Structure 1
């Protein structure tokens, strides 16, 4: 009987194993932790769960990996980004995920070599393949510092770190996760030169398949990608267990456990470098890397970078028949929302959905041609319960804390929100969180990964609170020193509830990632939502977040904050100036370096423009992208001069402010640095952007101009000025504003031979309104009164609340008759309007024209006399004196 049982088990196991499809994954080196994710996916059965028997293949110098992929000899491979060179030559490959956001490839030397900087590398021996196709990030870094290939003594690699100590070489090309540790074990003192520290931040270890295989096996490729990333998540979350498996079963290099643990921790940093999303790939970064290959002459043809990435390819296609059928049968899709979470989302009393999520899902509804039924919830636990019991199909906004509760499967990020620090008004600007040692900092436990913050900032005394409201309430009461929350939710609360008590005093380097949470076993809906999420363009995402990006950093004009924002870009700018100046000094000897200098300038996050006394000679990629131009010539066809793009606004510099025959550059240089501000209309979004202008004079009468986007900072400043210049109740300008600005206003109004009329408007019998109906109703009447005037007056008319129920109106007209018509129209609009609580009110208006060069008090006296006449003659009328 036992024999029969064993036989049945054997046959069953054999049949199960036969069902698994065998596929190959080619690795670029021998087994080590560098491939732990794939090893763990195999060992833990993640591949078997999707009916795949994955054969891991170690590096073999005789195998042409890309040829094997495109000819179906292997199904999957781990490649470097230099495979884009092959793609540019016609190889049809698809990138599934990049495991390392930053390349582990570095140069290592020992301190005893005397090499302390890249400038010391001339005539030094380097053990590297010497193949630009494999070590291009290293050579880019070296080349950017004036060292050419002919300045180096390239040696065939021995893969023996001891050679550094035995003085057989000066430097070796290696992985940051391997050789530095080995050198320390040998008694050395490693110095590491990392390309990412010099602006050459490359992807590495890209999981790849061929387009042909993807076309035939899309479902398998998707599952293989997911299983592989699941293996990587497991490996990084269980390093000791993973090391034990690799040490015992996958260790041809005989690495010690200590070396494998060191490798694991270093690679984990690279996998999550500047992101919380494992495997993330961006077309923009691929393009920047590829541009360096082109500058080196390794590639010539253009590539459509969006078509390289698996998620972009699969989402660009329409829904398949199964997904379309699901949408048709499930209409409407039930979406759990947070009923009170502005500015992210809220359900108003009239069942109107508003907030960032509302704008986002309006696009998704349009793209899916469907409707979402909104299900109100008040907590994450309630969301999970609703989804579990099929009251909801998915959650609108799920924060990816990387320890999300069971039951949800998360899409890729729909938008990110930076985290900021709120404090009381008397706290100075916070430069970095590490400065807040032992201070009590509140964090909302349901929205932020508390353990992440505790590990990253061990010096903080973190206090857990339920939400932003509780955190800010404790902050106002002085129970905590600060509150860490999202930029938008914190700024919204401060503007609506805590404007006179709290402020945003600094920002962190962290962000919250918002995703869509789908019931974990609803694979079809997850795929549908993933597709539409990936179809939202970067521009659409930016417009959505920009719309809600209004915030307050400091009360008053805070140039400290402005410089905090500008300084990093100025440093980058000066860095570019240094290389450009060096280029001019070296002349023709460094013609190759000029390409690299342009590359450095191209990757800067601000607009850089170089002009001589006749024409522009250089514009970086950021500049050309902003103006939607392919090259400098196209920009010159649209604009003969950069300054022509500056909008004529009083607050900023523009061509109308040039006071002599000198150039705009010479004129703007006369201003203080904080006043060198211009505004430009973005040609695609029609959004006005504000820039700080930095200018450095180069040789040969050339200028390097850098424009740093400070739109958000200026917006905050304008909001603050708005608070100080407008009446809090009605929104009209206040008396203080008029008294300090009337000369500028009148001078502007009298241009083009206009007449300026100053009118006083007084609500008739307003005291009776307050006495009869109460001050609450009186306040509503004042607000509606202003609203009626603004709707019935003209764009250039200026309304000021003078005091109580008395208002001042400045108008510019061509004649007295014209002024009479404007004021009569306003008087009639008020008498015809229905006011909440009191039905109808009237107003009396006294007006006069301003005589040039007279004192404003004289004009005001005549208007007041005219108002007195209007009241004596029965009220509800216009008198002009």
Structure 2
């Protein structure tokens, strides 16, 4: 009987026990994996029925084998996972925690290595696997350094080798070795692939499509809880560092060191839209192209299959008007015609080439062509004017002789792709030259000359700065209220949808407040519409000084406005709204008349749609008006 009683007590746990999964890290415990520790310790995983075992890396572990053998259900890898995907491995990338890789080359300041070119004939300590060091190898290659120009040393992962001079440059992480050198008061320089245009992802959370197909909800829950953990970790750095220091500190790092790690990694983590984990299709294609240039692969892969279907990646579409599209089409046609003319004349004799110069010098667009070693073969007068050099000073030179390093690196990266892919590409790049910032649209194509025995790059570049500014202004106008210069109703519709999506995925609470100017019709009728407009502009300007930079103010009607408070609860939003209401009533916008507002405030609910939350806050605002005006009502 006693045995039966004990069995009955523990029977529910047999049915409701959390699903156990293993997360395999790709290095030792440190802030680099903070989001996963937080998700485990704060109960984000257990809240969705998952019990996660987080395993440190050791040299005997092969991440892909762990996933394929189901010893681990999830793992953390690098951008080299793309190569494994190309090679037929069953991989799905759930999220890229770091949008910019912390991997770089670290050098001592007293080594006098200040530029990538200074590494010629130097010792470089990197992992011998080209896939793992691809961004560094691409950086070296783009600066004209081939493998025989430097000595690769097997990585010892011992910082003393750099300090003592055993090596000249060491593959390191921004969040680790530089902090250790600072602790020792040793000055250093960083050579980062991103500065040369090679922007890789890092710490890609991945699994297999086989596992996802069998466990779709488990995968989505793990993904969602992990992202929630990362957001919490970066929003609560001190708490997170303290947790790692006390519970996950197998490397015996100091609390200060862990905090510094977190500060560095936070700068690398967030996508431009403020999200964590985003995987962008175009960026992944660029990474594959780098692998191609390095000869690691010559094959493409289906990027869409590589990215987890629920990942928060977005494809941005730049909207232009019908009139602008016609302008761009005309420009494109004109550019293509010029390129065809140039190719025709390049294949002809000397007399034809002289005629070519006459043709290309008649255009304001810059025309130039290079050989396969990136040396200039020719250019038109517009290009000469831009670089402020005669043609004789340009022929035989490369971009590093004509431009500053950052511009030259960008051009070199593009040219490498053209020669590798042998197809035309269009680039839009901001270039700062002689203190002027100019946006160029450049079409580059691969071409052969001297009866196809030699290859090169032909390009035509046009200044589209004015067009860009027109497009930018039109885009801003489509989201900005013309009178008050706050966001308009169209912008509100977009933001509220994003906020609801974030709430449903990450439980990120938010509030909205709607307010209306009391008796505004009377103000317009008594004082005229000019005074009414003055009230609107002065009031919105004042309100913007009372809300956070992360809050949004929208004009959704004539005298109706909405404030969106991200990451806020009802009490917090109500306090701010009360301050705004009182401040508006104190403003002297009209002589001998007090202007007041009535406010409704609400917090997002689990079942809310954009229509639900708008109708609810609208009713709350009208309750404030009905009950006497100049007050706020909350729910």
TM norm structure 1: 0.40
Superposition pairs of residues 247-262 of structure 1, within 5 angstroms:
247-262=245-260
Distance 2:77 2:472 in 1: 48
1:600 aligns with 2:403: no
Match of residue 59 from structure 1: 57
Match of residue 808 from structure 1: none
Distance 1:718 1:148, change over 3 A: closer
The Cα of 1:127 is off from its aligned counterpart by 1.9
Match of residue 124 from structure 1: 122
Provide, for residues 168-222 of structure 1, a one-character-per-residue CA deviation record: whole Å limited to 9, x for no partner. 2211111001111111111210100111011000011111010101111111111
The Cα of 1:309 is off from its aligned counterpart by 1.0
Provide, for residues 842-865 of structure 1, a one-character-per-residue CA deviation record: whole Å limited to 9, x for no partner. xxxxxxxxxxxxxxxxxxxxxxxx
Match of residue 28 from structure 1: 26
2:426/2:443 contact within 8 Å kept: no
Distance 1:144 1:709 in 2: 27
Distance 2:457 2:63 in 1: 49
Superposition pairs of residues 457-606 of structure 1, within 5 angstroms:
538=316, 541-543=317-319, 580-581=374-375, 600-601=413-414
1:621 to 411, 425, 431: 425
Distance 1:11 1:167, change over 3 A: farther
Distance 1:92 1:709, change over 3 A: farther
2:425/2:443 contact within 8 Å kept: no
Distance 1:692 1:171, change over 3 A: closer
Distance 2:63 2:457 in 1: 49
1:114 to 107, 112, 124: 112
Superposition pairs of residues 622-661 of structure 1, within 5 angstroms:
622=426
State the secondary structure of the residue aligned to 1:74.
Answer: coil
State the secondary structure of the residue aligned to 2:374.
Answer: helix
The Cα of 1:274 is off from its aligned counterpart by 3.6
Provide, for residues 334-374 of structure 1, a one-character-per-residue CA deviation record: whole Å limited to 9, x for no partner. xxxxxxxxxxxxxxxxxxxxxxxxxxxxxxxxxxxxxxxxx
The size of the alignment, in residue pairs, is 389
Distance 2:292 2:59 in 1: 26
State the secondary structure of the residue aligned to 1:133.
Answer: coil
Distance 1:717 1:235, change over 3 A: closer
The Cα of 1:45 is off from its aligned counterpart by 0.7
Distance 1:84 1:182 in 2: 31
1:150 to 148, 151, 161: 148
1:197 to 195, 198, 218: 195
Provide, for residues 549-582 of structure 1, a one-character-per-residue CA deviation record: whole Å limited to 9, x for no partner. 99xxxxxxxxxxxxxxxxxxx9x99999997228
1:103 aligns with 2:65: no
Match of residue 307 from structure 1: 305
Distance 1:164 1:586 in 2: 35
2:281/2:304 contact within 8 Å kept: yes
Match of residue 141 from structure 1: 139
- Of the two structures, which has the highest relative contact order with CA contacts closer than 8 Å and spacing of 6 or more? 2
Distance 1:240 1:577, change over 3 A: farther
1:271 to 266, 269, 272: 269
Greater Rg by CA: 1
Distance 1:713 1:108, change over 3 A: closer
1:576/1:600 contact within 8 Å kept: no
The Cα of 1:73 is off from its aligned counterpart by 2.6
1:292 aligns with 2:290: yes
1:580/1:597 contact within 8 Å kept: no
2:444/2:460 contact within 8 Å kept: yes
Distance 2:246 2:376 in 1: 54
Match of residue 72 from structure 1: 70
Match of residue 545 from structure 2: none
Match of residue 517 from structure 1: none
Distance 1:149 1:276 in 2: 39
State the secondary structure of the residue aligned to 2:426.
Answer: helix
Distance 1:702 1:34 in 2: 42
1:94 to 92, 95, 109: 92
2:370/2:376 contact within 8 Å kept: no
Superposition pairs of residues 219-230 of structure 1, within 5 angstroms:
219-230=217-228
Distance 1:201 1:576 in 2: 26
TM norm structure 2: 0.54
Match of residue 459 from structure 2: 704
In the alignment, structure 2 segments of 5+ residues that lack a partner are 326-363, 378-394, 399-408, 429-435, 451-455, 475-635
State the secondary structure of the residue aligned to 1:24.
Answer: strand
Distance 1:62 1:14, change over 3 A: farther
Distance 1:131 1:84, change over 3 A: same
State the secondary structure of the residue aligned to 1:269.
Answer: helix
In the alignment, structure 1 segments of 5+ residues that lack a partner are 316-411, 414-533, 551-569, 588-595, 611-616, 625-673, 678-689, 720-881
Match of residue 234 from structure 2: 236
The Cα of 1:41 is off from its aligned counterpart by 0.5
1:108/1:172 contact within 8 Å kept: yes
Match of residue 483 from structure 2: none
2:30/2:249 contact within 8 Å kept: yes
Distance 1:27 1:242 in 2: 18
Match of residue 172 from structure 2: 174
Distance 1:109 1:46 in 2: 40
1:162/1:183 contact within 8 Å kept: no
State the secondary structure of the residue aligned to 1:310.
Answer: coil
Distance 2:457 2:73 in 1: 54
Distance 1:574 1:235, change over 3 A: farther
Distance 1:702 1:270, change over 3 A: closer
Distance 2:272 2:94 in 1: 19
Match of residue 81 from structure 1: 79
1:691/1:710 contact within 8 Å kept: no
State the secondary structure of the residue aligned to 2:148.
Answer: helix
State the secondary structure of the residue aligned to 2:461.
Answer: strand
Superposition pairs of residues 760-799 of structure 1, within 5 angstroms:
none
Provide, for residues 526-565 of structure 1, a one-character-per-residue CA deviation record: whole Å limited to 9, x for no partner. xxxxxxxx7xx75xx434x657999xxxxxxxxxxxxxxx
Distance 2:170 2:184 in 1: 15
Distance 1:69 1:692, change over 3 A: closer
Distance 1:547 1:76, change over 3 A: farther
Distance 1:80 1:271 in 2: 14
2:443/2:459 contact within 8 Å kept: no
Distance 2:457 2:83 in 1: 36
2:48 to 36, 47, 50: 50
Distance 1:699 1:186, change over 3 A: farther
Distance 1:691 1:310, change over 3 A: closer
Provide, for residues 453-505 of structure 1, a one-character-per-residue CA deviation record: whole Å limited to 9, x for no partner. xxxxxxxxxxxxxxxxxxxxxxxxxxxxxxxxxxxxxxxxxxxxxxxxxxxxx
The Cα of 1:48 is off from its aligned counterpart by 0.6
Match of residue 502 from structure 2: none
1:292/1:599 contact within 8 Å kept: no
RMSD (Å), alpha carbons: 4.5
Distance 2:16 2:70 in 1: 21
The Cα of 1:36 is off from its aligned counterpart by 0.3
Distance 2:122 2:19 in 1: 51
Distance 1:548 1:182 in 2: 57
Distance 1:718 1:83 in 2: 41
Distance 1:271 1:10, change over 3 A: farther
